Chains A and B, each alone.
Chain A
Amino acid sequence: MALEKPYLDIPGTTIFDAEQSRKGYHLNQFCMSLMKAENRARFKADERAYLDEWPMTEDQKLAVLSRDLNRCIELGGNIYFLAKIGATDGKSFQQMAGSMTGMSEAAYRDMMIGGGRSIEGNRYIGEKKK
């Protein structure tokens, strides 16, 4: 019997469930290693060499190198783990979240100050904007 995953029809959203967690184990554990200052320094000194110490897929490594967070999430990354990369880069959580929306940093910040992204039109994939 298929598992119940009612969240697959939400637009622009990937739920980090047991399946994604399985795919992203090494990617997320790499991120976790950046909580130590000496690892952050080693990663910054040679990102590719540091990534090669981890049994991640090539796609996962490329997504990290290009800081493509949407791709990282698709490949099993979780935002709280990926945030460690942002911390290493000196980025705020808002800069990281904004980078996934296709908006400029300023436009995203202004949207948040204006009350955030509206729920209208954002509940279901393919939903018509009102």
Chain B
Amino acid sequence: MSARITASVYTSHVPAIGAAIDLGKTAEAYWAPLFKGYEPAKAWMKAHQPDVIFLVYNDHATAFSLDMIPTFAIGCAAEFKPADEGWGPRPVPVVKGHPELASHIAHSVIQDDFDLTIVNRMDVDHGLTVPLNLMCGSPDAWPCPVIPFAVNVVQYPVPSGRRCYQLGKAIRKAVESYDEPLNVHIWGTGGMSHQLQGPRAGLINKEFDNAFLDQLIADPEALSRKPHIDYVREAGSEGIELVMWLIARGAMADTPPRVVHRFYHVPASNTAVGNLILENTQ
């Protein structure tokens, strides 16, 4: 029996959501509808605990300064500490890694022509910890090991949707060649529409976001051909984070997935929030 990917989760990773959790504001009128919208996702997560989460996210000038920014970086360490992003480290558990599976995936995916950077020491920021909170609540320890997979979407040019989608397929192949019957979830995080800079800050495009969700479910192959400029123009300069969702989608089986949960909410601070859970049906 080998490892397999059984489901994928897609969620925004807005830092203000982490702050709302850390400051005990989740019941406030501003935040309550958002956290209520994640309740079905949390219940599903409890009932479908994986052995490992492969978590695709981006670093926000935390672990990677302008000294160097890898395009694709895979965390192979035994653990990853929550970073001090300037407000002090978030009071969340240390993230335990899965070095054996991570290094196996690195080896396989690099041989498949994707030039990953192997990282053995890295603090993780809200991009990784906020999705864990949204899906798992605030436990004393995260429910399973997590493999952080950081994608550069900060310094352009960033990888294309097409490349992300194909990378997902290579990750699927890598997981399926691991000789241990692990149940793996792959998460794609970031987005949805938002722009944090310049006079156009605050941009939200509900039509774009919902069309993206529709196409991600039904026709990811066509969605993967959407050029960068469409994301930037239509979903904002930071909306480009959505290409990371295509990595998770590419790692799913070729047969149509089952839609477990879909949720969309505006706003969380400057951002449109989306959450989607897809299960493989075979």
Residues of A within 8 A of B (CB): 6-7, 10-18, 21, 24-25, 28-29, 31-32, 34-37, 40, 69-70, 73, 78-81, 83-84, 86-88, 92-94, 96-98, 100-102, 108, 111-113, 115-119, 122-124
Contact = CB atoms under 8 A, between A and B. Distances in A.
Nearest to B83: A35
Contact of B86 (A79, A87, A108, A122): A87
B233 interface: yes
Q: Which of B15, B196, B238 has the most CB of A within 10 A?
A: B196
Contacts, number: 159
B154 A98 contact: no
B92 interface: no
Interface centre among B205, B233, B269 (most CB of A within 10 A): B233
Q: How many residues of B sit at the interface, in one of the four size bands?
A: 35 or more
Given A119-B204, A124-B233, 16 more contacts: A13-B237, A15-B156, A18-B155, A25-B66, A28-B61, A35-B84, A70-B198, A70-B199, A84-B61, A92-B16, A92-B269, A97-B201, A100-B198, A112-B266, A117-B203, A119-B234
Given A97-B202, A112-B270, A16 B156 contact: yes
Nearest to A17: B156
A20 B264 CA distance: 33
Contacts of A118: 204
Contacts of A86: 86
A108 B198 contact: no
A28 B207 CA distance: 34
14 contacts: A11-B199, A13-B237, A14-B198, A15-B232, A18-B157, A21-B155, A29-B67, A101-B201, A115-B267, A116-B204, A116-B266, A118-B204, A119-B203, A123-B234
Q: Which 3 A-B pairs have the closest CB atoms?
A: A116-B204, A87-B86, A12-B200
Contacts of B156: 15-18
Interface string B66-104: 110000000000000001111110000000000000000
A117 B200 contact: yes
Contact of A13 (B15, B30, B205, B232): B232
A60 to B, nearest CB: 14
Contact of B66 (A28, A37, A113): A28
Counting chain B CB atoms within 10 Å of each CB, which of A6, A94, A119 scores highest? A119
Contacts of B269: 92-94, 112
Contact of B196 (A32, A93, A102): A93
